[in-house]
Amino acid sequence: MSKSVIIPAVQLEEEPYASVICYPRATPKEMHPRIEELKNLEITAVEFSGKSSAFTLSVLGKGYVGIVVVAHVRNTRLALKMQRVDSDRENLEHEAELLVRANNIGVGPQFVAVTKHFLLMQLIEGYLIEEWLATHRDRVVVRTVLTNILEQCWRLDEIGLDHGELCKAPKHLLVDKTNVPYIVDFETASTQRNASNVTSVCQFLFQGNSEVCKTIAVIIGEQNRKELVEILKKYRKNRDRQTFEDLLKHVFLRV
Ligand SMILES: Nc1ncnc2c1ncn2[C@@H]1O[C@H](COP(=O)(O)OP(=O)(O)OP(=O)(O)O)[C@@H](O)[C@H]1O
Ligand SMILES: [Mg+2]
């Protein structure tokens, strides 16, 4: 893993930084508007650090739509999602709009600003859920974090905002250093679908065969999967608070 470096904004047009800002290849046509946008966002430096990598540089995350790095803005460190040149999205503005809706109910990293190719938001310093579970085995702490995730999903269901990628959420659930969980990436979210955040996240946390499911089962006890399916079926049909609370009771029965 390459070491972490802080590059002043004026140097970002140089390689190898330019090709990460403009991933996977920087051309003057792509680079020029991006440099202007970074200026408008008042970004003074970009920090290449984190557990993922883009070419030779460390980054916080790399997906199909964006590369996420740390940006310095007025002495604060924020997360900057940079749209990949080869992504099939028009811009990051739609994602920003849905993130703001999530923020209104206390979900997601706090939105800061958006331009065509960049989304600036609160930096979540911590772990992906799988890494977090590998080092946090206290059942009460794990129950608190999982309850918080389920409550956030309940609130998203309540406003009809479907995240869209919570049934395979290894990259979309982060837990910060104070054990507060965050749902990230509202890029495939929608208000047009039937919101199924609670059922999707339950599938990811309790019903699959992934490492995450296995670890959770060891810490909080095995689920009675048949009963869980029944409660989720009921929740899908009624989507009321009582059924949601029955679900929580059932899931954490052994903690
Ligand atoms: N606000 C944030 N603070 C810290 N890390 C973040 C933040 N937002 C995203 N990340 C990291 O960057 C990774 C990629 O972000 P994101 O999922 O938004 O990109 P993406 O291109 O849409 O990815 P995918 O194609 O997998 O959906 C995340 O998995 C996470 O590790
Ligand atoms: Mg995405």
Spans of all domains in the chain: 5-122, 126-251
Q: Is the CB of 121 under 6 A from ligand 1?
A: yes
Q: Is the CB of 68 under 6 A from ligand 1?
A: yes
Whether 1 has a pLDDT exceeding 70, the answer reads no
Contact 52, 60 (CB under 8 A): yes
**The pLDDT value given to residue 254:** 84
Which value, to the nearest 10 degrees, does the dihedral of the CA atoms of residues 125, 15, 19, 37 take? 70
Q: Whose CA is nearest to atom 23 of ligand 1?
A: 63
CATH 1.10.3470 fits 5-122, yes or no: no
Neighbours of ion ligand 2 (CB under 5 A): 63, 65, 185, 187
Same fold, 5-122 and 126-251: no
Q: Is the CB of 61 under 6 A from ligand 1?
A: yes
Nearest residue to 114 via CA among 6, 188, 40:
40
pLDDT one-digit tens code per residue, 194-238: 999 999 999 999 999 999 999 999 999 999 999 999 999 999 999
Q: In 80-138, which ranges are continuous DSSP H helix?
A: 93-103, 129-135
Contact 248, 220 (CB under 8 A): no
* Ligand 1 mutation target, pool 20, 23, 46, 81, most atoms within 8 A of CB: 81
Using pLDDT thresholds of 50, 70 and 90, give the confidence band for residue 102. very high
Between the CA of 60 and the centroid of ligand 2 the distance, in Å, is 14
pLDDT one-digit tens code per residue, 165-174: 999 889 999 9
Computed over every residue of the chain, the mean pLDDT equals 96
Ligand having the closest approach to the CA of 188: 2
Q: Is the CB of 63 under 6 A from ligand 1?
A: yes
Helix (H) or strand (E) holding 229: helix 225-238
**The pLDDT value given to residue 255:** 85
Q: Is the CB of 109 under 6 A from ligand 1?
A: yes
Q: What number does CATH give the domain 126-251?
A: 1.10.510
- Residue 35 class from Cβ within 10 Å (0-12 exposed, 13-18 middle, 19+ buried)? middle
